[in-house]
Copies of this chain bind each other. A is one copy, B any other.
Amino acid sequence: MGEDCREFGESTKMKEKMEEVEREEEIDPESNPVNEPLLKRNRTLSSNPLALVGEKVSYIESLDYEINENDLFKHDWRSRSRVQVLQYIFLKWLLAFLVGLLTGIIATLINLAIENIAGYKLLAVLKYIHRERYLTGFLYFTGINFILTFVAAILCVCFAPTAAGPGIPEIKAYLNGVDTPNMFGATTLIVKIIGSIGAVSAGLDLGKEGPLVHIGSCIASLLGQGGPDNYRIKWRWLRYFNNDRDRRDLITCGSSSGVCAAFRAPVGGVLFALEEVATWWRSALLWRTFFSTAVVVVILRAFIEICNSGKCGLFGEGGLIMFDVSNVTVRYHVMDIVIVVVIGIIGGVLGSLYNHVLHKILRLYNLINQKGKIHKLLLSLAVALFTSMCQYGLPFLAKCTPCDSSIPESACPTNGRSGNFKQFNCPPGYYNDLATLLLTTNDDAVRNIFSTNTPQEYQPMSLLIFFVLYCILGLITFGIAVPSGLFLPIILMGSGYGRLLGLYMGPHTNIDQGLFAVLGAASLMAGSMRMTVSLCVIFLELTNNLLLLPITMIVLLIAKTVGDSFNPSIYEIILHLKGLPFMDANPEPWMRNLTVGELVDVKPSVVTLQGIEKVSKIVDVLKNNAHNGFPVLGDGGVAVPPVVGQANGATELHGLVLRAHLIQALKKKWFFKERRRTMDWEVREKFTWVELAEREGSIEGVAVTSEEMEMFVDLHPLTNTTPFTVLESMSVAKAMILFRQVGIRHLLVVPKYQASGVSPVIGILTRQDLLAHNILTVFPHLAKSKSRGKRN
């Protein structure tokens, strides 16, 4: 029954593209078998066999962050009035505000839903246990979790496969310039919200943090384009936002709002986006992002105020600080630094080990998920069942502990949903420490294990069981087909071994056990995710203990250093698994030994167009090529070029024309009988820059009569006259730095020789051409020097 549910929304568009790709792949080798390129572009996600849940083999496009300076743009630029500029600025801030507002509201609603669903579920279960109806309790607990997981999984599997997982790697790739398919649709947003509520309420070992980042980005993307793909508002003001640059900025705002909403950490959110997610960053963006997170935090604060008066059901405990440990004074001496270093090292080792094993498991899961939707669903449900059984069953292994007499009777044992001393199956006056950690929501579990000034609360055995269980769950849960964040599982695992270490170190140190748990969590986060400053601030904002900062910093630095010496960060591993063509910040060392000239030599020769080109040539080029940009050559102002259609008559590099603009020209029938340059006003009558901002459209939808085929198109006004260029002698390393720093899509390679008859452009490089992996397949000898490590 999972098989016959249909796919909605963006999937039709995707199918079209898929067909296009297949067709081209059929055409390409036949029409031009000799000229087959050595350097192949991965038009589809390269890791088809490795693709994760939710990922489909699909056409990957690059984004275009370059300002396309053609005549129309320039004219529009000049004619843009002061009012329009103010409109644009106002809208930019309005959208940043709306992103914050909506993310804040949705995050609160998700929290509200989760706390209430999970809360009433747990209250009911505890009631059964209190009446010693253990089996009924078990069935109730497992059944509800099963249903919740089923809802989350079926939505993901059927409607929005991209909503599974955290979404952060894809957003990272998007902000790097990869147009990750189907990531920011309305369906994805809705499935992510409902799926996240279901999965977290089901008690699965996953967080709502990653999904919230994705939700924030979806909101930003939808706002920026004026609504879902099929129902976009054609608001006049929004047209300024119909470009990849502004959308990128908005999505950056969205992702930091998401982090802010997840951890109630406004500064941490900004820094997370800055350190981990974004590739490009400007001071102006820092400020706008900060504004968005400020809005989020004000919204959260307002909701907390409202809920404190008891109007939100079981939600409402806890303020703006999620895991407050500020009630303990941090004292440490020089000797404690040793312990701190040890925590850091353990965190680094465990973190990289976690990355390694998770990688293997994701590969294994992929084999299962590939078999079909039913398999995906069954896998998710199996994991949910296992989780429920462990969470319910394991606490029976723990011994009951008598309550400390210093604690008031109302606090120990607790029978409510949240509380530090769960009675579970124990007699009055006793509590079950393992139930305190397992039979609760994940947030509460973290709160309980971080609890300070309670050195006697947990038994070593319980902590060990907790740690081992969450290691297993953390590994097997992440890859299933539900929205899942990585933060909380890692925090739970890390706090487990941290507190365990604190228990044993207790007599030798001044540091509280709760702080050990915090440090353990921080170390594992750094060991797996490899962030520093942003994690530091997030932990500061989570725990509200500024005096902990120096040791947190040490732990994070050591854990990251240790982890980095084993393997890359978890997000990089996932990016690689998904086959997203992410461009690294640092070129590989061997890239210095290769020039772009050598690189374009192994590609098929570049397809160029004339400034005034025949319609038939354009149609031919568009049909036989998947390229997105074509260099336009000219004769330098002479009205009629000497020989029709022959490139060597032309000696001027006029610029670069985009595929989308060629299609627009064909669609709009921008044809002339004679071969002539057009006037400015002619172009402006025919095209508006708003139309040119649209990147949609395929050559298939264009009908050209045979009469029109013989006519001419004046490409000059549509051509971006200021493409970025490099000399053929430029090293690949430097070209890559240029490519990434400036954020471009097409890099033209020009000859270093000056002579007649030489084409002024000898090649064109795109993202795929500059990826280390693709270059190494053609120049394998370069790989041997690869081991020497990056120079950063």
Complex interface: chain B residues within 8 A of A41 (CB): none
- Which of A218-226, A354-362, A474-482, A721-729 interfaces with chain B? A721-729
Report whether A532 and B287 are in contact in the complex, using a CB–CB cutoff of 8 Å.
yes
Partner of A730, one of B88, B266, B321, B722: B722
Partner of A726, one of B78, B725, B753, B791: B725
User: With an 8 A cutoff between CB atoms, is A780 at the interface?
Assistant: no
Complex interface: chain B residues within 8 A of A267 (CB): 533, 536-537, 540, 549
User: With an 8 A cutoff between CB atoms, is A121 at the interface?
Assistant: no
Question: In the complex, what's the smallest C-beta–C-beta distance from A330 to chain B, in angstroms?
Answer: 10
Report whether B792 and A284 are in contact in the complex, using a CB–CB cutoff of 8 Å.
yes
CA distance A74 to B69 in the complex (A): 36
Instruction: Report A15-49 residues with CB < 8 Å from chain B CB.
Output: none
Q: Mark A287-320, 1 if CB is under 8 A from B, else 0.
A: 1001101100110011001000000000000011
Report whether A550 and B77 are in contact in the complex, using a CB–CB cutoff of 8 Å.
no
User: With an 8 A cutoff between CB atoms, is A636 at the interface?
Assistant: yes
Report whether A725 and B725 are in contact in the complex, using a CB–CB cutoff of 8 Å.
yes
Task: Identify the closest chain B residue to A92 (Cβ).
Answer: B792
Interface size class of A (residues with CB under 8 A): 35 or more
Complex interface: chain B residues within 8 A of A636 (CB): 753
Complex interface: chain B residues within 8 A of A541 (CB): 546, 549
Partner of A550, one of B282, B298, B533, B654: B298
Complex interface: chain B residues within 8 A of A532 (CB): 286-287, 290
CA distance A260 to B69 in the complex (A): 44
Partner of A752, one of B78, B540, B654: B654
User: With an 8 A cutoff between CB atoms, is A705 at the interface?
Assistant: no
Question: In the complex, what's the smallest C-beta–C-beta distance from A717 to chain B, in angstroms?
Answer: 14
With contacts A727-B725, A754-B758 taken as known, whether A266 is within 8 angstroms of B789 at the C-beta atoms is no
Complex interface: chain B residues within 8 A of A77 (CB): 589, 592
| Copies of this chain, tallied across the complex | 2
Partner of A722, one of B78, B275, B560, B734: B734
Question: In the complex, what's the smallest C-beta–C-beta distance from A323 to chain B, in angstroms?
Answer: 12
- Which of A181-189, A413-421, A663-671, A735-743 interfaces with chain B? A735-743
Complex interface: chain B residues within 8 A of A646 (CB): none
Task: Identify the closest chain B residue to A296 (Cβ).
Answer: B550
Report whether A592 and B74 are in contact in the complex, using a CB–CB cutoff of 8 Å.
yes
CA distance A709 to B443 in the complex (A): 80
Report whether B320 and A547 are in contact in the complex, using a CB–CB cutoff of 8 Å.
yes
CA distance A326 to B731 in the complex (A): 55
Partner of A731, one of B69, B302, B550: B69
Question: In the complex, what's the smallest C-beta–C-beta distance from A237 to chain B, in angstroms?
Answer: 15
Instruction: Report A739-792 residues with CB < 8 Å from chain B CB.
Output: 741-742, 750-756, 758-760, 785, 788-789, 791-792
User: With an 8 A cutoff between CB atoms, is A82 at the interface?
Assistant: yes
Task: Identify the closest chain B residue to A791 (Cβ).
Answer: B85
User: With an 8 A cutoff between CB atoms, is A567 at the interface?
Assistant: no
Report whether B788 and A85 are in contact in the complex, using a CB–CB cutoff of 8 Å.
yes
Complex interface: chain B residues within 8 A of A788 (CB): 80, 82, 85
Question: In the complex, what's the smallest C-beta–C-beta distance from A745 to chain B, in angstroms?
Answer: 14
Question: In the complex, what's the smallest C-beta–C-beta distance from A229 to chain B, in angstroms?
Answer: 28
With contacts A294-B553, A301-B550, A754-B755 taken as known, whether A275 is within 8 angstroms of B266 at the C-beta atoms is no
User: With an 8 A cutoff between CB atoms, is A461 at the interface?
Assistant: no
Complex interface: chain B residues within 8 A of A753 (CB): 636, 651-652, 760
Complex interface: chain B residues within 8 A of A759 (CB): 754
What would be 5 A-B contacts, judged by CB atoms less than 8 Å apart?
A69-B731, A267-B540, A302-B334, A725-B750, A756-B756
Which 7 pairs show the lowest CB-CB distances between chains A and B? A294-B553, A754-B760, A741-B741, A284-B792, A651-B754, A722-B730, A544-B546
Not counting A78-B785, A537-B537, a sample of 5 additional A-B residue pairs whose C-beta atoms are within 8 angstroms of each other reads A74-B592, A85-B789, A282-B586, A297-B553, A725-B727
